[in-house]
Amino acid sequence: MSVNMTIEIRPYQSQDLNDLLSSWERASHLAHGFMSKSFFDQERHNIPNLYLPNADTWVAVVEHRVVGFIALIGNEVGGLFVDPQYHGTGCGKALMDKAQALHGGLEVHVFQDNIIGRQFYDRYGFVAVAEEVFEQTSYLILHMVFEPAAET
């Protein structure tokens, strides 16, 4: 993928669901390869039925196709997924920039074993402030925060 492609960030619409789920599935299996099939099955059900109705969701669109999304619950990033074929193209950063423009400071919980996600959040400027066990899976998660730089 060209890093000079046009990325549109816009609010999620119901007709985006299939592309959104496809992007989530590819990205999630790559980043969360340590999770069980039952976890993925439950999350695939939860996304359209629980998460999307309760989140402020924005999508990244390239050439009229949704290739990623960010779901926000207030200033918390509930989920950020970009189709792996678009990793490194600026889609994730564009989605995070939108969240930061809306809320300023942000927070996220990310699995410690999710190396891809942790590296992305580190590069963006998030800092780990706590860790805890995610009860549903017994995996360790990191609570990370991002504070925008003060204007000088």
Nearest to 148 by CA among 118, 126, 128, 129: 126
Instruction: State pLDDT tens for residues 95-150.
Output: 999 999 999 999 999 989 889 999 999 999 999 999 998 777 788 889 999 998 76
pLDDT surpasses 90 at 92: yes
State pTM to two decimals.
0.90
The full set of domains in the chain, from first to last, is 8-146 (3.40.630.30)
> What are the distances in angstroms from CA 108 to CA 15, 86, 129?
27, 21, 10
